[in-house]
Structure 1
Amino acid sequence: MVSFRGASADAMAALTDLVGGVAEASAPVVSGDLFSAARTVRYEAALRRVVTDQSVPAEARSGLVGDLFNGKVDAATLGVLRDAAGRRWTRTRDLADALEQLGVIAAVRSVGLQADTLVDELFAVRQLVNRDHGLRDALSDPLRSVADKGALVDTLLTGKVLPTTVQLVKQALAGSYRTVVAALEDYERTAAQVQGEGVATVHVARPITESDQRRLAAALTRQYGRPVHLNIVVDAGVIGGMKVEIGDDVIDGTVLARLDDARRKIAG
């Protein structure tokens, strides 16, 4: 996920609480507004410099943003933007990155009890883009406009997944991340985090039963002290057992890993 340090981390924590108080009914509009504001701040260098300049009084920065966005965004969004402009940011780019992350959080809130479905769909789209080289090239082609890429996403996904999933996949095309896949992975983790969950990617040789998934999720929940959402990847390269990736941790219980371990012990 996007990492914030120092003052930016404090600002992001406060703004996350603020977005968490947005009514679910308003969240879809707030999400779109925040994504739009993030683009404006990211690409308007003069504005970005002014609203992150600590020599400018917080009230002036907040007032400038209020005047700029008043009447163009929802009232709840305007409150978030004014608050964000009045805070300290460690790096000038952090404000735009924070607004994008806050847009993802608002998007997750907009789906209510379907948040788990959103996480699953983002993962499925990420896997599709990873596997389909033609699709990945089309979505990363610098000669294709964002609108053209968005139309391709609509053709592939509209009516098959949640509207919010389509919204987030289109947002992943904005270019603020190194790749579309990296953006989707970050959004996926944010969506799980909003629910207080971690995300574990589980590589197996063949599909595992729902009961086995429940047992694995329960074991990981006990180990990490919070609920864990499982993403199952059927991987022909796994020879028996499974490999679990959660955060920076890798738990490799595959047969191949055990054989490699045995070889090292023999060689030692």
Structure 2
Amino acid sequence: MRGLSRSSLAAVEERFNTVAASADLGRLADDLSAIVDLLDREHGLRRNLSDPARPAAQKAQVIRTLLEGKVSEAALETAVAAVEAKWSRASDLTDALERLSVIASAAQAESESRLDDVEDELFRFSRIIAANPDLRRALADPAAPAEGKERLLTELIGGKVAAASQRLITQLAVRPRGRSLETGLEEYSWLVAEQRQRLVAVVRSAVALTDVQRQRLGAWLRTSYGRDVHVNVEVDPRVQGGFSVRIGDEVIDSTIAGRIEEVRRRLAG
């Protein structure tokens, strides 16, 4: 988000933090996700509620009339703050509410001391999806009913992952909002990591790293970037020795395959 929307997001997050402090975080996450779904389906409503020319009080009254008694008080107050704010684009309104839904799930996990589990589980599920095309198609099929996807995910991960992880994965499968499942999982992973102001590093290695190696790599990255870094490891035999680290758009490549490719590029140049 840029300009007007960025400052509005900060104001809405401040209101969200106030109401979330005493809220049922799981329900808050579910309610905000449902509100996003409503506004994504009702394009005219979203345009009207995000129109900066409309009086804030009028938009607040509309959303209260629609949602009062149907969602938690915390979700209602967050939605009111969102529609009262001014947004550069209509989609920024729903993007902000989706972001807060994810943050509510992350806050729930943190309150249960399971934030690390959620980060790991989102990453592992993204690898499962990448390795299982049939599962990916089943979850990404826009014609498949939401109930079927929810049932499939309950069978696969129900009781095996944190409640927040199951909620976020299901949310992405049922309401992808134009993204691939892999892209959505990566975006959510970054939002979860932000709860601790941490970066996320994806490490590709030919073999699994030991706990000691992960800790040493994490300490080196923390020193290099000046922030805590959550390390996700992807085992890939094509690496051919060494490892590569991707943090956002930056890649640190010490693999043999990477060196060979660099030599090829230089020869070709």
TM-score (norm 2): 0.93
Q: CA RMSD in A?
A: 1.6
Q: Deviations over 1:89-139 (max 9, x none)?
A: 111111112111110000100112211111101111111011101101111
Partner in structure 2 of residue 234 of structure 1: 235
Q: Match of 1:64, SS?
A: helix
Q: Go from structure 1 to structure 2 and tell me whether the alpha carbon gap of 1:57 and 1:242 turns closer, same or farther (over 3 Å shift).
A: same
Partner in structure 1 of residue 163 of structure 2: 163
Q: Go from structure 1 to structure 2 and tell me whether the alpha carbon gap of 1:127 and 1:263 turns closer, same or farther (over 3 Å shift).
A: closer
Cα distance in 1 for residues equivalent to 2:254 and 2:180 = 30
Cα distance in 2 for residues equivalent to 1:240 and 1:27 = 44
Q: Match of 1:191, SS?
A: helix
Structure 1 residue 78, shift from structure 2 partner: 1.2
Structure 1 residue 263, shift from structure 2 partner: 4.9
Partner in structure 2 of residue 9 of structure 1: 6
Q: Deviations over 1:206-234 (max 9, x none)?
A: 01111111111111112222110010000
Cα distance in 1 for residues equivalent to 2:132 and 2:265 = 36
Q: Give yes or no for contact 1:20–1:106 (8 Å, CA) kept in 2.
A: no
Match status 1:153 vs 2:153: yes
Partner in structure 1 of residue 73 of structure 2: 75
Structure 1 residue 69, shift from structure 2 partner: 1.1
Partner in structure 1 of residue 50 of structure 2: 52
Q: Give yes or no for contact 2:29–2:104 (8 Å, CA) kept in 1.
A: yes
Cα distance in 2 for residues equivalent to 1:18 and 1:83 = 7
* Further displaced range: 6-15 or 209-218: 6-15
Structure 1 residue 262, shift from structure 2 partner: 4.0
Cα distance in 2 for residues equivalent to 1:182 and 1:211 = 30
Partner in structure 2 of residue 246 of structure 1: 247
Q: Go from structure 1 to structure 2 and tell me whether the alpha carbon gap of 1:20 and 1:218 turns closer, same or farther (over 3 Å shift).
A: farther
* Structure 1: gaps spanning 5 or more residues: none
Cα distance in 1 for residues equivalent to 2:146 and 2:210 = 40
Q: Give yes or no for contact 2:238–2:257 (8 Å, CA) kept in 1.
A: no
Q: Match of 1:111, SS?
A: helix
Partner in structure 1 of residue 181 of structure 2: 180
Corresponding pairs, count: 265
Partner in structure 2 of residue 28 of structure 1: 26
What percent identity do the matched residue pairs reach? Answer: 35
Q: Go from structure 1 to structure 2 and tell me whether the alpha carbon gap of 1:260 and 1:184 turns closer, same or farther (over 3 Å shift).
A: closer
- Equivalent residue letter for 1:19: F
Correspondent of 1:42 among 40, 43, 49: 40
Q: Match of 2:197, SS?
A: coil
Cα distance in 1 for residues equivalent to 2:138 and 2:48 = 36
Q: Give yes or no for contact 2:15–2:81 (8 Å, CA) kept in 1.
A: no
Q: Match of 2:169, SS?
A: helix
Q: Match of 1:134, SS?
A: helix
Partner in structure 1 of residue 198 of structure 2: 197
Cα distance in 2 for residues equivalent to 1:125 and 1:257 = 26
Q: Give yes or no for contact 2:121–2:165 (8 Å, CA) kept in 1.
A: yes
Structure 1 residue 235, shift from structure 2 partner: 0.3
Q: Go from structure 1 to structure 2 and tell me whether the alpha carbon gap of 1:239 and 1:158 turns closer, same or farther (over 3 Å shift).
A: same
Q: Match of 1:94, SS?
A: helix
Structure 1 residue 20, shift from structure 2 partner: 3.1
Partner in structure 2 of residue 134 of structure 1: 134
Q: Give yes or no for contact 2:68–2:76 (8 Å, CA) kept in 1.
A: yes
* Structure 2: gaps spanning 5 or more residues: none
Cα distance in 2 for residues equivalent to 1:55 and 1:267 = 57
Q: Match of 1:82, SS?
A: helix
Q: Match of 2:170, SS?
A: helix
- Equivalent residue letter for 2:188: Y
